[in-house]
Amino acid sequence: MSIRYDGKVAIVTGSGGGLGRCHAIELARRGARVVVNDLGGSVDGTGAGSEAAQAVVAEIEAVGGEALANGANVAKYDEVEAMVKQAMETWGRVDILVNNAGILRDKSFAKGSLDDFKLVLGVHLMGTVNCTKACWEIMREQAYGRVVVTTSSSGLFGNFGQSNYGAAKMGVIGLMNTLAQEGTKYNIKINALAPVAATRMTEGLMPEEVFNLLTPELVTPAVLFLVSEDAPTRTILGAGAGGFTVTRLVESAGMWLPPDEQTPEGIAANWDAIAATEGETHPQSGAEQTMKVVGLAMEGLGLAPE
Ligand code: NAI
């Protein structure tokens, strides 16, 4: 059965080029009406222009799809609100939001400036917050919404020189974890994409034969799955070169320390057991972690029910 988006309206931010362009074209090819948002500008976020978004709209129209160009800066809430209004006035709904827009200001933490840090957080994290916030009430009222946040291995696992970007990219995971809970009742599903792709953002970072394998077209199926009717929620899906992975946050089984060992020295003495990988779990909510530590204490204190 083919997955389609007939009757659905999608907003794809930063879709004037790279991965976003690919997501937007494929969504439109499969029936969605698409807002092609892009501020234009360069990888470091300087400059602006509407040509890129308009060119993608023309590509979509050339294959019989419906799209409109929008030049909002996702970091500015008033511009984002106007974008969502444009979608609502044109098509009357917003079903799918793909938060994809992004920039880089790579520098080691020692050399980087706070201004660059704030700028990168502003585009990736607040940009995602702004767009999701502007669509949230609409999706709640429709009792339908599919949202994707774009994370990165740099946030999930770290990458030298990308502390600002990594912090922002892990921030969107925190946003997702809570919105997945708040959206459940309204049939809003929210997931994260961790892409690996050859774009202007990754140009020069890898050997040519690896770069050539990593086409954006091989990432887009992951996004399309995550915004489909039967999408999961709160999933981090990795995609690149035809490989697909799921990343999860794990917590060790841990242990309860008796009162005389509830000290830094006690933790040091029991470190191997506290950090052991055997019996790890994947908590689905903050409350699960609370229950676990309280459960360990109850058991240790002999207060657990038989
Ligand atoms: P790209 O630079 O080709 O695309 C990003 C697009 O976002 C550009 O068209 C740019 O004009 C637009 N944009 C930037 N700031 C904006 C703003 N404030 N408002 C609206 N649009 C804005 O880069 P690429 O590789 O396609 O990246 C897409 C997303 O995937 C980004 O969030 C990036 O961080 C993420 N990503 C990419 C990876 C890769 O391997 N290419 C790896 C991990 C994450």
The tens digit of pLDDT for each residue in 290-306 reads 999 999 999 999 998 77
Residue of 19, 59, 120 to test ligand 1 pocket, by largest number of atoms within 8 Å of CB = 19
pLDDT (average), residues 244-271: 98
Of the candidates 143, 128, 133, 149, which has an alpha carbon nearest to the alpha carbon of residue 222? 149
Nearest atom of ligand 1 to the alpha carbon of 41: 11
Of the candidates 73, 82, 87, which has an alpha carbon nearest to the alpha carbon of residue 124? 73
pLDDT at 125 over 90: yes
Give me the pLDDT at residue 63, please.
93
Residue of 199, 210, 219 to test ligand 1 pocket, by largest number of atoms within 8 Å of CB = 199
The ranges assigned to domains in the chain are: 9-247, 259-300
Give me the pLDDT at residue 241, please.
97
Give me the pLDDT at residue 50, please.
84
pLDDT (average), residues 78-90: 98
pLDDT at 26 over 90: yes
Nearest atom of ligand 1 to the alpha carbon of 150: 32
Give me the pLDDT at residue 268, please.
98
How far, in Å, from the CA of 181 to the mean position of ligand 1?
27
Lowest mean per-residue pLDDT among 140-154, 177-191, 193-207: 193-207
d(CA 141, CA 92) in angstroms, rounded, equals 12
Residue of 21, 38, 56, 245 to test ligand 1 pocket, by largest number of atoms within 8 Å of CB = 38
Sign of the alpha-carbon dihedral angle for 57, 59, 62, 66: negative
Query: Residues with beta carbon inside 6 Å of ligand 1?
Result: 13-14, 16-20, 37-41, 43, 45, 52, 73-75, 100-103, 123, 127, 150, 152, 195-197, 199-202
Nearest atom of ligand 1 to the alpha carbon of 43: 2
What distances in angstroms separate CA 286 from CA 37, 119, 149, 229, one per listed residue? 34, 29, 20, 27
pLDDT at 147 over 90: yes
Give me the pLDDT at residue 304, please.
82
How far, in Å, from the CA of 7 to the mean position of ligand 1?
27
Give me the pLDDT at residue 133, please.
99
pLDDT at 48 over 90: no
Band of the pLDDT at 49, cuts 50, 70, 90?
A: confident
Give me the pLDDT at residue 47, please.
87
Which residue lies with its CA nearest to atom 18 of ligand 1?
73
d(CA 266, CA 259) in angstroms, rounded, equals 9
Query: Token pair 């794990």 is at which residue?
Result: 250
To the nearest whole percent, how much of the chain has pLDDT over 90? 93
Give me the pLDDT at residue 203, please.
87
User: CATH number of the domain at 9-247, out of 3.40.630.20, 3.40.50.300, 2.30.110.10, 3.40.50.720?
Assistant: 3.40.50.720
Amino acid (one-letter) located at 47: G
Q: In DSSP terms, which residues pair with 205 in a beta bridge?
A: none
pLDDT (average), residues 276-285: 96
- The answer to whether 14 and 41 have CB atoms below 8 angstroms apart is no
Give me the pLDDT at residue 277, please.
98
d(CA 229, CA 186) in angstroms, rounded, equals 13
b/e map 90-117, b = 16+ CB within 10 Å: ebebbbbbbbbbbbbbbeeeeebeeebb
How far, in Å, from the CA of 225 to the mean position of ligand 1?
20
DSSP secondary-structure letter at 121? Answer: I
List helix spans (H) across 75-198: 77-91, 114-120, 127-142, 153-156, 163-183
Can 165 be counted among the known catalytic residues?
A: yes
Nearest atom of ligand 1 to the alpha carbon of 169: 34
Q: 5, 77, 165, 186: which one is catalytic?
A: 165
Amino acid (one-letter) located at 60: I
Q: DSSP readout, 163-192?
A: HHHHHHHHHHHHHHHHHHHHHGGGTEEEEE
